[in-house]
Structure 1
Amino acid sequence: MYDYLIVGAGFAGSVLAERLASEGNKVLILDKRNHIGGNAFDYYDEAGILIHKYGPHIFHTNSKEVYEYLSRFTQWRHYQHRVLASLDGQYFPIPINLTTINHMYGMTLDSSQLEAFFASKAEAKNILETSEDVVVNSIGRELYEKFFKNYTRKQWDLDPSELNASVTARVPTRTNKDDRYFTDTYQSMPLHGYTKMFETMLNHPNITIMLGTDYRDAAPEIQFKKMVFTGPVDEYFNYRFGKLPYRSIEFRFETHDQETFQQTGTINYPNDYSFTRITEFKYLSGQKHHKTSIVYEFPTADGDPYYPIPRPDNMALYRQYEELAKSQRNVYFVGRLATYKYYNMDQVVAQALATYKKIKKEASENTRVLESANGSLGRN
């Protein structure tokens, strides 16, 4: 008998497994893949270079709680990610900043002048409903078409005017020279990789791991009291209301017999080619090697579910599943797939930690109720 059956060994499942096991609970984790770590899984390729099997995962957070929690299981390598966009045979820093604009237009603006420049280009929108609205309202249509429109179409197979405002709002515009892709307080990579971090996290006598196992096949044979489900919520309910739409990615890995392939960690290709970006892993890991490995990303409609598609009709469909999920006793739905949200890694960790606190509070309240009931029986 297990106290908890956890479906999925990614961030959500692993964090909850560790927290619950640390309180004396017997935990079983199932994952249909043959490895732990979910989409953050990394490994050494044939050339001996540490690569990310499911595309680049760069850790960043403003949450001290999340950072300090993960620090129990890994040392960190300080790393601040930088991205360039390839446009018209030149490279420009993104998010768009002071350097981007001065380089693109051959100007020497300062920050206050750049604010006025953006204001002169912007098309004011009273309501920011779509991803197009967000960008055009901020920096105008010319820069929107150069940097955002076609990249978004490739990524989502939808025009930005068809997507929720949250998509392009993830990439801000700056009026200074800060060329870091993220500005979070904590920006680091696990020193020995994500997989090593997960191995340390799950190394507990109360945790049992079964890989290459579909929970639908195994669950009927397993005795457990409660479940944590981190897979697709529509799958859990056998697609009762239909499938929730996702975008997936095909990855093409290459190893080159040279020390570096490109001038920064990631280069985006907004307008050219069918791939969206190329990432070179040695920038992320800091590994020294005479060869280098890269990955091309080709967005696709088919494949593993990676990105929930943020459109009103999709959210309406998810709400139906959310109501079903709320009605389930002793089942907790956690993570990007289980809650159909476009979460970053730190947000999934935060959600898992919050769920653990909720579980602990519920257990404490149940104990008080039982003690109160037993006390009443003793007096009668």
Structure 2
Amino acid sequence: MKVDWLIVGAGFTGATLAERIASQMNQKVLLVDRREHIGGNSYDCYDDNGILIHKYGSHTFHTNSKMVWQYLSKFTEWRPYFHQVLSVVDGKKIPVPFNLNSLYELFPPRYAEKLEELLISNFGFGTKVPILKLRETASGDLTFLAEYVYKKVYYEYTLKHWQLNPEELDRSVTARVPVYISRDNRYFQDTYQGMPKHGYTVLFSRMLRHPNIKLLLNTDYRELIGAIKFDRMIYTGPIDEYFQYKHGTLPYRSLRFEFQNMNQEYYQEVGTINYPHEYDFTRVLEQKHLTGQNSRHTTISFVFPQSYNPKENEPYYPIPREDNRKSYGLYAKEAEQIKDQVLFAGRLADYKYYNMDQAVARALTLFKEIAEKKI
């Protein structure tokens, strides 16, 4: 068998590159994944009770990129959806990111009003303030608020999820969920937000429905080396694994999901509820809120963070710390030496936590460079 490209990994990065190369360059692609399905961590399926679930945690699509939105719209219609998340704090469910509505859920009205006025006068309405910045700059009553929010909303959740406290991580982690001086309860404020009308797996199936694309699942790409011929490879798996961990294992956090079907229409008010303090799990997910599916039953999942072991579970989150970036840099130099044979891209290959739209944007940018013969 002879193909132009061997692409390893059928998630958003690999599928986008396979579709573009096949449709725009008229070249043959073999897309390989060691899992039994396409879609990577965005894979969804129907469980035994007919509920559409996200097997690897809730995935809500959002982007500010018109290019990405228009590209994916070739393969799906969209169900309008704005994600909301609640967090259990002192026995009450409050909106996160922490916002002005959260104040009034937790504090007496007059004190909440005072804090609101202080936040607006110091930072302005509609601004997003990372919690570590708020702690550093706050004074007076805002010092109390900063410490309260840090401890109740961020600290223990971060410790449970990462096994590190917020100061031990890159500031981009806490900046992802800032204090939002607004009454907007949406988790994201991106221009384009929605859910694939028929699910992510259908979206991926349509992307890969091209005669130039051959798909091989349940297969480790290394089993194919020597058995097939290809001109170049695109690798979207863990970069340290590709180089046989010669510079050590890059650390990740992993997740474990426990699913439970409920004989009721809905279990909770929104798609995600965080539990920073209670229990061993960090959150409970209910995807019916995302999909809009009609059923007298629902399925929820409990999300348990855990350590990553290459032989036991899946890598989910690169751990953003300076020493880890330096370790990745050693692998990036190795990749640079063989870029005429193998291109590396994606969350695991780039050792970056990409949102879905960022993975697509990365793939589209890489494809442009390939098509223009810049790499």
**TM score, norm. by length of structure 2:** 0.91
Paired residues for 1:87-236 under 5 Å? 87-107=89-109, 114=116, 116-117=118-119, 133-134=132-133, 136-137=135-136, 140-236=146-242
State the Cα deviation string for residues 250-272 of structure 1 (Å, max 9, x = none): 00001000001011111000111
Paired residues for 1:284-323 under 5 Å? 284-302=290-308, 303-323=313-333
Q: Is contact 2:43-2:55 (8 Å) kept? A: yes
Aligned residues: 356
CA distance in 1, matches of 2:322, 2:341: 30
CA distance in 2, matches of 1:281, 1:63: 25
Q: Is contact 1:16-1:353 (8 Å) kept? A: yes
Measure how far apart 1:117 and its partner are. 4.3
Give the aligned partner of residue 38 of structure 2.
36
Give the aligned partner of residue 7 of structure 1.
8
* Unaligned stretches of 5+ residues in structure 1: 122-127, 366-380
Is 1:251 the counterpart of 2:257? The answer is: yes
Instruction: After superposing the two structures, state which structure 1 stretch, 111-120 or 301-310, moved more.
Output: 111-120
| Aligned residues: CA RMSD | 2.0
CA distance in 1, matches of 2:131, 2:98: 16
Q: Is contact 1:94-1:181 (8 Å) kept? A: yes
Instruction: After superposing the two structures, state which structure 1 stretch, 99-108 or 208-217, moved more.
Output: 99-108
CA distance in 2, matches of 1:2, 1:135: 54
Measure how far apart 1:79 and its partner are. 0.3
Q: Is contact 2:131-2:175 (8 Å) kept? A: no
Is 1:340 the counterpart of 2:346? The answer is: no
Is 1:51 the counterpart of 2:50? The answer is: no
CA distance in 2, matches of 1:218, 1:293: 38
Decide which structure has the larger Cα Rg and report it. Answer: 1
**TM score, norm. by length of structure 1:** 0.90
* Unaligned stretches of 5+ residues in structure 2: 124-128, 138-144
Measure how far apart 1:39 and its partner are. 0.5
Measure how far apart 1:214 and its partner are. 0.2
State the Cα deviation string for residues 126-145 of structure 1 (Å, max 9, x = none): xx9xx873452366222100
**Cα–Cα, structure 1 residues 119 and 274, in superposed 2: closer, same or farther, change >3 Å?**
farther
Q: Which has the higher helix share?
A: 1
**Cα–Cα, structure 1 residues 36 and 184, in superposed 2: closer, same or farther, change >3 Å?**
same
Q: Is contact 1:132-1:161 (8 Å) kept? A: no
Instruction: After superposing the two structures, state which structure 1 stretch, 8-17 or 81-90, moved more.
Output: 81-90
